Chain A
């Protein structure tokens, strides 16, 4: 099989997805290839913080001003993925209150609106904050759902003609002398092989881009910095909480969707570990003890799960912690750098600046293709974000929306119009914790490259609530089995799904979390009998 494209993008994380969208909007014929599902790497394994840039204001002005610009853009183009919560930088008694002035000055210089507020007022606005704070600065942080953001970019790229192949691994980079011309791939689900050609190949594989570059004959000094995070079972805070000091471990608490997330740690890990990250007990302890300093109630709050991601940092110096490496965008033209034509690597950066990264990579690709088309992603809303806030959307459709209908609008934004929710069956709830109805599951299976239950979870939040898939796993498996037809495969997939949930739970399984596990294990082993065979 041979196919021709203008550009092949490797990596279905947010950078690849954003680049695929940008290229498609500029009229290019795009192929996006992802080894797993979309948003499986660092994209889905971070805080989900919509940075204001304040965190970098003192240490990295360039990143800070990139962040605030992108922050304001995302609040417009990705409304349904973003929660404009605002954020605090708090000073605790053990911190230097003098840093606050430096911080505010740096924010102002970077264009970030930073307002010192009275600690009493801060406590009134955010009752979960540590009551012993001695200072607070309000900045325009927020939260962003990275799965939704990534899926929306992929969806829009497809609407504009892009072809998306998930579970497809690049086995070989095809080169014609110093010219990169395409890739050979293998479908990891079916084993089928294929070959695709394009004059430009963009490597957007994050930390795995190191390997892709090597296959192409280039070397990038990547720095895999593991960051561990904990998810708590409900939103303890309504406002993002940061420590007003130099960036350190576990100093950001982000309210995202129905939960909140504390993170992160930072440790260098060998490349081989990037696919098998585990959260260690000392990381859990550190996150809990530091987290409780931001919000003491965390010590009494149920932990849903632990997870870790790898920041795709590009080495600059020999800093052993990886904290002082620039979070800046790295866009490499391998033609000028390594003499490989038609090959671009876009890496570094962060979730917040994915759109800018995509713009830079697409600009470079267009230049290579001899095209001069302007970028429109800063002003074109993503599908779902065209019509304003969620309340406005559901008020246009229903007079008395049900809880599931409200929740679906919260996830799908204006796309909800394509999800039928009026009849009782369509509105039946699959995931009770996150209120995901049947039709949203159906719609994701049909339109959003869903191959298994874990993919389905990333598209819909099904299984992300307090019970971690205890019931909805089974219910969604039935729907998937009806759609895919292969009941035996879906039963195995259900087991994999439960194992994937368990992986995040056992590192924090004590208290109520362990109790939930005991119940779930009873249901799956004893009631359903899935431990046999």
Chain B
């Protein structure tokens, strides 16, 4: 007999208004999902009465948090759902789920064979095998694994230069920067250095978001504990933890305490995204950006769900709007449907594409030069579904900045 006090979560503030249902991306496409109100506050009361009321269909929740953003009562609906999965789900993760969840392990395994793996997972026979054996949808395009990771580049090219900076940040690069998109990490180091900040890497582990999504609770908790310990050391030395991926940032700030019950109170407020970090410095007059004179781009901004939940898209918008020559359009907010590993699963593929349809349609109608988004899984989904290139704002910034001039302007 084990029970956790759940009153910490304010689910009783729910007044059954169903505003969450109006904004849940899953509700209109997958009827088996009971909807956020029922899956969250309604069933929480029943689950407290008897755990047999746990419904395995809660696995269809994307954990996009749009219910929480829209809730007029301040109920942490998605937290309730994820926490219920953790407490009651009898389902054990499949081999497929475990593979998808271990973004870091998969990356490390794939790296030595990157060219082979990339071309293999792109071939029809392999896709067909993955579809049948692993239930990974055959229509899904896999992101390319890079043979040379970000950390390797950093150690070779950048590490030695960082000692020159008196001000420093600790960079949480995350799995996709390491394994698929090292250019994001490189852009981060370039921009930070240009504004006068040195970059330190940490002995980080994957933030664990995919493990949470796939029910690998113990593993997620181990990662969370490890990261919090590493962050505490850094923050103790006066370094803020800065990241480029919105989902990792959100997970480490809020999912650790709310879903995994891991205390991160000593470091939570020091974990930030580069866009917020830079904006606050500029707003305080501590940093100046100098842009290239000839940079021009038509950019569509897709706000990732967890960016909505963080409430920080305002910083990205402000930064992007600082770039002369940029025409910047914010898309109507909506989930792209990928939700990390959700859209990779065969049983979700159709729902995933249907959820993302309004976003894809807007992008096609706008026909921008490229799309801006802080989330790499959104990037994969949008690139696969629309053919438009998606760039992390820090990559756009690095491209648009006159780096030597910026460096000079911030040298004091």
* Residues in chain A within 8 A of chain B (CB atoms): 124-128, 233-236, 238, 255, 257-258, 297, 300-302, 390-391, 403, 406-407, 410, 432-433, 435, 465-467, 470-471, 512, 515-516, 519
B43 and A234 contacting across the interface, CB-CB below 8 Å? no
B16 and A410 contacting across the interface, CB-CB below 8 Å? no
Query: Chain A contacts of B7 at CB under 8 A?
Result: 236, 297, 300-301
Query: Chain B contacts of A302 at CB under 8 A?
Result: 12-13
> A402 — nearest CB in chain B belongs to which residue?
B55
14 A-B residue pairs with Cβ-Cβ distance under 8 Å, sorted by A, are A127-B3, A234-B12, A235-B49, A238-B48, A258-B45, A297-B5, A403-B53, A403-B55, A406-B46, A406-B52, A410-B50, A433-B16, A435-B46, A470-B16
Residue B15 CB within 8 A of the other chain: yes
Partner of A258, one of B15, B34, B37, B48: B48
A432 and B42 contacting across the interface, CB-CB below 8 Å? yes
Residue B17 CB within 8 A of the other chain: yes
* Closest-CB distance, B45 to chain A (whole angstroms): 5
**CA of A127 to CA of B49, assembled, Å:** 15
- Mask for B1-19, Cβ within 8 A of A = 1, else 0? 1111101000111111100
Query: Chain B contacts of A432 at CB under 8 A?
Result: 16, 37-38, 42
Sample of 14 more A-B contacts, CB < 8 Å, known A124-B2, A301-B7, A466-B15:
A127-B4, A128-B5, A234-B11, A234-B44, A235-B48, A257-B49, A258-B49, A297-B5, A432-B37, A433-B16, A512-B12, A512-B13, A515-B73, A516-B15
> B41 — nearest CB in chain A belongs to which residue?
A466
* Closest-CB distance, B11 to chain A (whole angstroms): 8
**CA of A126 to CA of B4, assembled, Å:** 9
A403 and B17 contacting across the interface, CB-CB below 8 Å? no
Query: Chain A contacts of B48 at CB under 8 A?
Result: 234-235, 238, 258
B53 and A406 contacting across the interface, CB-CB below 8 Å? yes
**CA of A454 to CA of B48, assembled, Å:** 26
Query: Chain B contacts of A235 at CB under 8 A?
Result: 45, 48-49
Q: Count chain B residues whose beta carbon lies closer than 8 angstroms to a beta carbon of A.
A: 29
**CA of A145 to CA of B42, assembled, Å:** 20
Partner of B12, one of A127, A233, A403, A471: A233
Query: Chain B contacts of A236 at CB under 8 A?
Result: 7
> B34 — nearest CB in chain A belongs to which residue?
A403
A466 and B12 contacting across the interface, CB-CB below 8 Å? yes
Query: Chain B contacts of A512 at CB under 8 A?
Result: 12-13, 15
> A298 — nearest CB in chain B belongs to which residue?
B7
* Closest-CB distance, B22 to chain A (whole angstroms): 15
A234 and B17 contacting across the interface, CB-CB below 8 Å? no
* Closest-CB distance, B140 to chain A (whole angstroms): 28
A403 and B43 contacting across the interface, CB-CB below 8 Å? yes
* Closest-CB distance, A127 to chain B (whole angstroms): 5
Partner of B3, one of A126, A233, A297, A410: A126
Query: Chain B contacts of A471 at CB under 8 A?
Result: 16
**CA of A257 to CA of B48, assembled, Å:** 9
> A125 — nearest CB in chain B belongs to which residue?
B1
**Known: A301-B12, A433-B16. Contact between A407 and B5, CB under 8 A?**
no
> A257 — nearest CB in chain B belongs to which residue?
B49
**CA of A300 to CA of B8, assembled, Å:** 9
Q: Which of A128, A233, A234 has the most CB of B within 10 A?
A: A234
**CA of A466 to CA of B15, assembled, Å:** 7
**CA of A126 to CA of B1, assembled, Å:** 9
**CA of A390 to CA of B52, assembled, Å:** 10
**CA of A300 to CA of B9, assembled, Å:** 11
> A234 — nearest CB in chain B belongs to which residue?
B45
Query: Chain A contacts of B1 at CB under 8 A?
Result: 125, 238
Query: Chain B contacts of A435 at CB under 8 A?
Result: 42, 46
**CA of A124 to CA of B2, assembled, Å:** 7
**CA of A515 to CA of B12, assembled, Å:** 11
**Known: A127-B4, A128-B5, A433-B42. Contact between A391 and B52, CB under 8 A?**
yes
Query: Chain A contacts of B15 at CB under 8 A?
Result: 466-467, 470, 512, 515-516, 519
Partner of A127, one of B5, B11, B50: B5
* Closest-CB distance, B49 to chain A (whole angstroms): 5
**CA of A125 to CA of B3, assembled, Å:** 7
**CA of A122 to CA of B93, assembled, Å:** 33
Please name the 7 residue pairs, one residue from A and one from B, whose CB atoms are nearest each other, closest first: A302-B12, A235-B48, A467-B16, A258-B45, A234-B45, A233-B12, A297-B7
> B13 — nearest CB in chain A belongs to which residue?
A512
> B10 — nearest CB in chain A belongs to which residue?
A512
> A410 — nearest CB in chain B belongs to which residue?
B50
Query: Chain A contacts of B52 at CB under 8 A?
Result: 390-391, 406
B3 and A466 contacting across the interface, CB-CB below 8 Å? no
Within 8 A of A (CB), among B43-86: 43-46, 48-50, 52-53, 55, 73
* Closest-CB distance, A523 to chain B (whole angstroms): 10
**CA of A406 to CA of B50, assembled, Å:** 10
**CA of A471 to CA of B42, assembled, Å:** 14
**CA of A366 to CA of B170, assembled, Å:** 87
* Closest-CB distance, A118 to chain B (whole angstroms): 15
Query: Chain B contacts of A128 at CB under 8 A?
Result: 5
Query: Chain B contacts of A410 at CB under 8 A?
Result: 50
* Closest-CB distance, B151 to chain A (whole angstroms): 43
Query: Chain B contacts of A257 at CB under 8 A?
Result: 49
* Closest-CB distance, A425 to chain B (whole angstroms): 15
Query: Chain B contacts of A433 at CB under 8 A?
Result: 16, 42, 45
**CA of A301 to CA of B43, assembled, Å:** 17
> A303 — nearest CB in chain B belongs to which residue?
B12
Query: Chain A contacts of B42 at CB under 8 A?
Result: 432-433, 435
Query: Chain A contacts of B11 at CB under 8 A?
Result: 234
B5 and A466 contacting across the interface, CB-CB below 8 Å? no
**CA of A465 to CA of B43, assembled, Å:** 12
Query: Chain B contacts of A390 at CB under 8 A?
Result: 52
A466 and B49 contacting across the interface, CB-CB below 8 Å? no
**CA of A433 to CA of B41, assembled, Å:** 9
B4 and A258 contacting across the interface, CB-CB below 8 Å? no
* Closest-CB distance, B190 to chain A (whole angstroms): 49
> A395 — nearest CB in chain B belongs to which residue?
B52
**CA of A127 to CA of B34, assembled, Å:** 29
- Mask for B28-46, Cβ within 8 A of A = 1, else 0? 0000001001100111111
**CA of A512 to CA of B37, assembled, Å:** 17
**CA of A465 to CA of B44, assembled, Å:** 12
* Closest-CB distance, B379 to chain A (whole angstroms): 36
> B6 — nearest CB in chain A belongs to which residue?
A234
Query: Chain A contacts of B13 at CB under 8 A?
Result: 302, 512, 515
B45 and A466 contacting across the interface, CB-CB below 8 Å? yes
**CA of A388 to CA of B308, assembled, Å:** 49
> B11 — nearest CB in chain A belongs to which residue?
A234
**CA of A258 to CA of B15, assembled, Å:** 16
Query: Chain A contacts of B41 at CB under 8 A?
Result: 466
Query: Chain A contacts of B2 at CB under 8 A?
Result: 124
Query: Chain A contacts of B16 at CB under 8 A?
Result: 432-433, 466-467, 470-471
**CA of A515 to CA of B14, assembled, Å:** 10
**CA of A235 to CA of B11, assembled, Å:** 12
**CA of A515 to CA of B13, assembled, Å:** 9
Query: Chain A contacts of B45 at CB under 8 A?
Result: 233-235, 258, 433, 465-466
**CA of A127 to CA of B48, assembled, Å:** 13
* Closest-CB distance, A407 to chain B (whole angstroms): 7
Query: Chain A contacts of B43 at CB under 8 A?
Result: 403
> B5 — nearest CB in chain A belongs to which residue?
A127
Query: Chain A contacts of B14 at CB under 8 A?
Result: 466
**Known: A302-B12, A465-B45, A467-B15. Contact between A238 and B53, CB under 8 A?**
no
Query: Chain A contacts of B44 at CB under 8 A?
Result: 234
* Closest-CB distance, A487 to chain B (whole angstroms): 25
**CA of A479 to CA of B133, assembled, Å:** 49
**CA of A391 to CA of B55, assembled, Å:** 14
Query: Chain B contacts of A300 at CB under 8 A?
Result: 7
> A297 — nearest CB in chain B belongs to which residue?
B7
**CA of A403 to CA of B34, assembled, Å:** 9
Query: Chain B contacts of A465 at CB under 8 A?
Result: 45
**CA of A234 to CA of B50, assembled, Å:** 12
* Closest-CB distance, B174 to chain A (whole angstroms): 35
**CA of A128 to CA of B13, assembled, Å:** 19
